[in-house]
Amino acid sequence: METPLRLKYWGLTDIGKVRADNQDAFAVLTLNGLGGEEITAALVCDGMGGAKAGNVASSMAVECFVGALTDRLISFNDADVIIGDVVYEANMAIRDKAASDESFSGMGTTFVAAIVSGNRALIANIGDSRCYLVNNGGIRQVTKDHSLVEDMVDRGEIDRAEAWLHPRRNYITRALGTERDIECDFFHITLAEGDTLILCSDGLSSQLNPQEILFEILYGGEIETAARRLLDITLARGAPDNVTIIVMSVVKGD
């Protein structure tokens, strides 16, 4: 009988070198589904808004995510529907909170989630927090940024190298809490032993290019310390933004 796949994960967040507070938030949880199915759910949110409004928005999204999955997710097959519910509920909650208190006006948050069971993964995103897939074949950005520069690349106005350095690269075009109706992109991927998923806020992706991330995952040292190494490089480069990283590695089960 073939040994089943399982997931090992590590996550961390850091305020960085410049910001006064950390507006990122993240969560990773493992759930037992029907028939003993093990489901791992991970989320990274990068808040925005004045004062501490950003960390309120990101924390609210994470709380909604954890609560909904803990209460309702009993099968990987339900993941699309439940993530859709989380997006709707978190969006409304953030908007209601912003409407009730002027100090929270305009707050919002990015959202990138991964739901994994065996060799199946569902990735969902809003904004410019990313999911990468890394393996011996290279690195691929699974998600697509909802950002001004990404739209410019799509229209052929700038190329990818110019986007990396563009002064408005942090302008996002979609975020939880900023509009009444919000659309979430979904991606289904099949995983294999040795695959690694990375969820991150733009505090990482704005400082390390994909090839640098690939190198650290495959050649920089043990996978258990990869998130820490990526953070250390970001901090050494000045870390102008909050940094959040989740590394999820597919291995054979014991």
Residue 155 in domain: no
Look up the domain containing 112 and give its range.
5-141+175-252
117 and 37 Cβ atoms separated by less than 8 Å: yes
**pLDDT interval class at 35 (50, 70, 90):** confident
pTM, to two decimals = 0.95
**pLDDT interval class at 165 (50, 70, 90):** low
- Is the pLDDT confidence value at 189 over 80? yes
In this predicted structure, what is the pLDDT of residue 1?
Answer: 52
Residue 182 in domain: yes
In this predicted structure, what is the pLDDT of residue 171?
Answer: 80
Residue 187 in domain: yes
Residue 148 in domain: no
- Is the pLDDT confidence value at 10 over 80? yes
In this predicted structure, what is the pLDDT of residue 78?
Answer: 96
pLDDT in tens, 139-161: 999 999 998 887 777 777 776 66
Rounded to an integer, the average pLDDT of 117-130 is 97
Distance between CA 112 and CA 120 in Å, rounded? 17
- Is the pLDDT confidence value at 123 over 90? yes
In this predicted structure, what is the pLDDT of residue 166?
Answer: 63
165 and 204 Cβ atoms separated by less than 8 Å: no
Assign residue 12 the CATH number of its domain: 3.60.40.10
Distance between CA 239 and CA 207 in Å, rounded? 8
In this predicted structure, what is the pLDDT of residue 99?
Answer: 94
Number of domains forming the structure of the chain: 1
Residue 61 in domain: yes
Rounded to an integer, the average pLDDT of 69-83 is 96
Rounded to an integer, the average pLDDT of 234-249 is 97
Residues 144, 148, 150, CA angle at the centre, nearest 5°?
A: 35
Question: Hey, what's the torsion of the CAs at 200, 205, 206, 209, to 10 degrees?
Answer: 170
In this predicted structure, what is the pLDDT of residue 97?
Answer: 95
Percentage above 70 pLDDT, the chain? 93
- Is the pLDDT confidence value at 87 over 90? yes
Rounded to an integer, the average pLDDT of 240-251 is 96
Residue 153 in domain: no
Residue 146 in domain: no
In this predicted structure, what is the pLDDT of residue 49?
Answer: 83
In this predicted structure, what is the pLDDT of residue 204?
Answer: 97
**Mean pLDDT rounded to a whole number for the chain:** 92
Residue 123, classed as helix, strand or coil, is strand
In this predicted structure, what is the pLDDT of residue 52?
Answer: 75
Query: What number of CA atoms fall less than 13 Å from residue 44's CA on the CB side?
Result: 33
In this predicted structure, what is the pLDDT of residue 170?
Answer: 72
Percentage above 90 pLDDT, the chain? 82
Residue 158 in domain: no
State the chain's maximal CA–CA distance in angstroms: 60
